[in-house]
Amino acid sequence: MNSKTWTVVQFLDDLTVEAIPSTWIQGNECHWPSFSMEKLHNAIRKSEPLNTCWPTHKIKIFRNATYGDYLKARNKARIAENTSDINTEPEDVEVKRKRIQKILSSSEESIDDTILPPPPSISKYKAKKKTSTS
């Protein structure tokens, strides 16, 4: 039985996500061909046999991420680019943006505390006395 499967993995070098032929995976590493983009996509889609001469890369395999259909695996890889749960449907994915908090060190805080802007100058107005002409 020669069934082709694809597994969604994350490359730990650059944190990219891809659906690759399961036969290219050995443990926590993946053999990755040095092909042009077009040839690489064709090799993945056709699930070309593993060539052990290809360079290896460290990977993380997503849980329950092996599929018998390349298009389904590719869609799950796209979902995994935006979320850690690839078992959700695309319309269920809610991408949240992380809020970056500014963290001040104690040295920055002390600088901010010691350098204060000059206080605003207060202009003094003298009220004119009203004189009555009676």
**Residue 95: per-residue pLDDT:** 42
Q: CB within 8 A of 28, min separation 6: which ones?
A: 58, 59, 60, 61
Q: How far apart are CA 68 and CA 65, in angstroms?
A: 10
3-state secondary structure of 72: helix
Q: CB within 8 A of 55, min separation 6: which ones?
A: 31, 32, 34
3-state secondary structure of 125: coil
Query: Alpha carbon of 16 to those of 43, 55, 78, 94, 114: distances in Å?
Result: 18, 17, 10, 20, 45
Residue-wise pLDDT for 6-50, tens only, equals 999 999 998 899 999 999 999 999 999 999 999 999 999 999 999
Residue-wise pLDDT for 62-99, tens only, equals 999 999 999 999 999 998 888 755 555 544 444 444 44
**Residue 92: per-residue pLDDT:** 47
Query: Alpha carbon of 5 to those of 44, 47, 49: distances in Å?
Result: 10, 8, 12
What token pair was written down for 5?
């499967």
Which of 108, 4, 99, 102 is CA-nearest to residue 49? 4
